């Protein structure tokens, strides 16, 4: 029994292994999917139909792979490559070049079609016009005309022609009257040319011939601008020929798969439509086109070259240049004017300084002369004044000598005589010192001075010089002590002049009319000094001429004293004026000076 069970067990085990082997042998091998991204410029349907023979061939030739077409527009294809959703890429030469740069696509083979001369010379464009447009013969005739094309990025539908137009000196963006993009298919472009809606249209080579062959248009109705002769090429064209569409792999594509696909495609027999694949063509001419048009991957050239900037911004640059030139001229002119005016100013300042220096010199000279003149007038009795102490000194000296001879000279007598002699000598030398100080020639200065002290000094000088001086009373009625920034001797000169005039006015009058009052007041930060006499006074007509130079009523007068006083006071920021004495006969001369500082 056990043996039977064991045999059955072995039989079942053998059957199981057999079944497993059968199942394994019968199960189909899971083929890997390979996605071919195709630029479907004419739509999904047309694209699928175009590439079906290639797809079928690859699926047949490489049974380990399952090839699938993914028909995409330009942006869709770009995204699919970026996201590594495609293994193989079939696209036009323009997009291939752009994506070769951007994603590292590398071509495996280039399409070979029956209409092309070779895979390297396959794609071009014809610029068509109506046959009756005799004004349009070459591409350069399109300046200022309306042109229809497929799209701004369409390789054969625009860019190839754009490059030729640039070669002819026409910038399609600015030199055409209108650039109209009508998209795909290209037949509306032909219709727009025929109807006159545009002057010319861009179509791929051989399209006209193809439609004419199908009886959809008459070739004689159209003409191609700047027709080119390409030996062996059967269709009319206006541009050079560029390489045909490539099939390419991405960076992520399996290298073994790439090799298998390349080998398979190169071995692919011609399809019914005459398509086959050949070794990869040279896409350098496409690169050159993109570089010249400064499109991606050469878009960076557009922004940076000096020529591009010059071409784009020349009106602005010209304006800027003119502005700079105008500014330069203006600057030079202003500079010249400034220099001329500065020189003039310097000259006139120098002239003014010289004149001022001369005036100052004259003023000082005048002041000096005026002081000497005052002294001259006041010191008629100077000799007498000096003589008095000298006589006294002589008397004392003689008295000492006499007493000595008589033998009566006591020590007390010598002491008394010497003291008196010393006193008199000091008196004489004080008079001389004051005169010398007053008469000294000196430049004007400004010091803080006490006008009260100056008035007292002036009074002393007058009293010292005259034999019969009048009574001069100083009345300081100022509630505050006013300090004045002034040239002390000049102020003293003014006071002496006014005192001398006051004395002259009372000279021939009784003594009670000869008294003079020198009064000091202060108000509103100004010091007021009045010199009041009771003399002869002045008529109102003379009063009007009082400060005019050379006005004098005196036989020996100069008429310069008062004008000089006025100049001195005004130079100190003050004012000098005269009026009839409001409190009696005579005159009142007053001057004011600004207080520099006041103390109570
Ligand atoms: P001068 O004393 O040389 O004449 P001034 O310029 O000092 O020159 O004075 C001009 C004139 O003003 C005097 O001739 C005199 O007629 C008049 N004058 C000046 N002070 C008095 C005064 N206190 N009273 C009357 N007349 C005066």
- pLDDT digit string (tens) for 223-266? 999 999 888 888 899 999 999 999 999 999 999 999 999 999 99
Q: Is the peptide bond before 185 cis (omega within 30 degrees of 0)?
A: yes
Reply yes or no on whether the pLDDT at 5 is more than 60. no
Domains 125-240 and 444-600 share a fold: no
385 CA distance to ligand 1 centroid (A)? 26
**In what helix (H) or strand (E) does residue 270 lie, and over which residues does it extend?**
none
Spatial distance between the Cα atoms of 431 and 184, rounded to a whole number of angstroms: 126
Question: What residue's CA is closest to ligand 1, atom 16?
Answer: 553
361 CA distance to ligand 1 centroid (A)? 25
Question: What residue's CA is closest to ligand 1, atom 2?
Answer: 557
Q: Is the peptide bond before 297 cis (omega within 30 degrees of 0)?
A: yes
Average pLDDT over residues 319-323: 94
Q: For the chain, first and last CA: distance in Å?
A: 153
Spatial distance between the Cα atoms of 345 and 303, rounded to a whole number of angstroms: 53
294 CA distance to ligand 1 centroid (A)? 101
Which two structure tokens, joined as six digits, stand for 238?
């206006």
> Could you tell me the fold of the domain covering 32-117+245-278?
D-Maltodextrin-Binding Protein; domain 2 (3.40.190)
pLDDT value of position 502: 95
Q: Give, for ligand 1, the residue of 548, 552, 566, 567 to mutate: max count of ligand atoms closer than 8 Å to Cβ.
A: 552
**Cβ neighbours around 443 below 10 Å, total:** 8
CA-562 nearest atom, ligand 1: 6
> Could you tell me the fold of the domain covering 444-600?
Heat Shock Protein 90 (3.30.565)
DSSP E strands, 403-502: 447-449, 472-476, 481-486
Reply yes or no on whether the pLDDT at 22 is more than 60. no
- Name the nearest CA neighbour of 115 among 206, 231, 237: 206
Reply yes or no on whether the pLDDT at 13 is more than 90. no
pLDDT value of position 430: 79
Taken in order 367, 368, 370, 374, is the CA torsion positive or negative? positive
Tens of pLDDT, residue by residue over 496-551, are 999 999 999 998 999 999 999 999 999 888 999 999 999 999 999 999 999 998 89
57 CA distance to ligand 1 centroid (A)? 138
Q: Is the peptide bond before 365 cis (omega within 30 degrees of 0)?
A: no
Tens of pLDDT, residue by residue over 193-214, are 999 999 999 999 989 998 999 9
**Contact indicator for 294, 301 with CB cutoff of 8 Å:** yes
Ligand 1 pocket at CB < 6 A: 497, 501-502, 505, 533, 535-538, 546, 551-554, 557-562, 587
Which residue ranges make up each domain of the chain? Answer: 32-117+245-278, 125-240, 444-600
CA-564 nearest atom, ligand 1: 6
543 CA distance to ligand 1 centroid (A)? 10
Spatial distance between the Cα atoms of 177 and 170, rounded to a whole number of angstroms: 11
Q: Give, for ligand 1, the residue of 370, 501, 540, 565 to mutate: max count of ligand atoms closer than 8 Å to Cβ.
A: 501
Question: What residue's CA is closest to ligand 1, atom 23?
Answer: 502
- Helices 74-82, 93-103: axis angle to 10 degrees equals 30
Question: What residue's CA is closest to ligand 1, atom 19?
Answer: 501
pLDDT band at 41 (very low <50, low <70, confident <90, very high): confident
- Name the nearest CA neighbour of 95 among 245, 256, 262, 279: 245
- Name the nearest CA neighbour of 444 among 279, 569, 285: 569
pLDDT value of position 376: 66
Spatial distance between the Cα atoms of 578 and 542, rounded to a whole number of angstroms: 11
Tens of pLDDT, residue by residue over 269-307, are 998 888 999 999 999 999 999 989 988 778 776 666 677
Report the CATH architecture of 125-240: 3-Layer(aba) Sandwich (3.40)
CA-533 nearest atom, ligand 1: 23
Spatial distance between the Cα atoms of 61 and 263, rounded to a whole number of angstroms: 10
């Amino acid at each position: 029994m056990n043996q039977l069970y064991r045999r059955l067990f072995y039989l079942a085990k053998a059957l199981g292994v057999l079944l497993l082997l059968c199942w394994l042998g019968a199960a189909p091998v899971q083929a890997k999917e390979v996605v071919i991204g195709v630029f479907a410029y004419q739509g999904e349907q047309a694209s699928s139909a175009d590439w079906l023979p290639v797809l079928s061939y690859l699926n047949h030739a490489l049974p380990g792979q399952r090839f699938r077409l993914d028909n995409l527009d330009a942006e869709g294809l770009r995204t699919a490559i970026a996201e590594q959703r495609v293994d193989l890429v079939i696209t036009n030469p323009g997009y291939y070049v752009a994506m070769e740069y951007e994603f590292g696509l590398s071509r495996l083979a280039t399409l070979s079609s029956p209409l092309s001369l070779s895979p390297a010379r396959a794609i071009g464009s014809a610029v068509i016009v109506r046959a009756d447009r005799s004004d349009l013969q070459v591409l350069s005739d399109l300046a200022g005309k309306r042109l229809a094309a497929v799209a701004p990025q369409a390789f054969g539908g625009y860019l190839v022609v754009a490059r030729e137009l640039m070669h002819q000196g026409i910038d399609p963006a600015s030199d055409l009257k209108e650039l109209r993009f009508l998209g795909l298919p290209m037949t509306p472009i032909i219709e727009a040319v025929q109807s006159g809606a545009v002057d010319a249209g861009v179509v791929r080579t051989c399209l006209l011939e193809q439609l004419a062959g199908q009886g959809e248009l008459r070739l004689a109705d159209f003409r191609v601008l700047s027709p080119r002769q390409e030996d062996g090429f059967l269709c009319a064209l206006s541009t050079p020929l560029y390489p045909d569409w490539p099939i390419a792999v991405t960076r992520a594509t399996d290298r073994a798969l790439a090799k298998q696909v390349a080998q398979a495609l190169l071995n692919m027999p011609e399809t019914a439509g005459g398509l086959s694949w050949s070794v990869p063509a040279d896409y350098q001419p496409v690169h050159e086109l993109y570089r010249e048009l400064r499109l991606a991957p050469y878009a960076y050239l557009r922004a940076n070259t000096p020529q591009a900037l010059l071409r784009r911004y020349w009106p602005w640059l010209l304006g800027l240049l003119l502005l700079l030139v105008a500014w330069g001229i203006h600057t030079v002119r202003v500079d010249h004017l400034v220099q001329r005016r500065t020189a003039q100013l310097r000259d006139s300042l120098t002239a003014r300084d010289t004149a001022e220096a001369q005036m100052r010199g004259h003023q000082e000279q005048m002041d000096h002369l005026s002081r000497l003149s005052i002294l001259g007038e006041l010191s008629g009795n100077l000799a007498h004044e000096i003589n008095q102490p000298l006589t006294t000194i002589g008397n004392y000296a003689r008295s000492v000598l006499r007493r000595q001879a008589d033998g009566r000279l006591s020590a007390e007598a010598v002491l008394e005589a010497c003291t008196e002699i010393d006193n008199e000598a000091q008196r004489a030398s004080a008079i001389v010192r004051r005169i010398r100080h007053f008469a000294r020639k000196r430049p004007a200065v400004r010091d803080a001075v006490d006008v009260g002290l100056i008035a007292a000094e002036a009074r002393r000088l007058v009293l010292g010089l005259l034999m019969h001086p009048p009574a001069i009373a100083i009345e300081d009625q100022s509630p505050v002590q006013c300090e004045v920034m002034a040239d002390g001797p000049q102020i003293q000169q003014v006071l002496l002049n006014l005192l001398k005039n006051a004395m002259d006015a009372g000279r021939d009058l009784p003594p009670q009319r000869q008294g003079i009052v020198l009064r000091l007041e202060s108000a509103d930060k100004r010091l007021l000094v009045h010199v009041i006499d009771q003399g002869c006074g002045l008529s109102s007509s003379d009063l009007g001429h009082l400060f005019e130079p050379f006005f004098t009523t005196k036989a020996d007068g100069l008429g310069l004293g008062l004008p000089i006083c006025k100049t001195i006071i005004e130079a100190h920021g003050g004012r000098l004026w005269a009026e009839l004495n409001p409190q009696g006969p005579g005159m009142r001369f007053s001057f004011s000076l600004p207080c520099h500082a006041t103390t109570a």
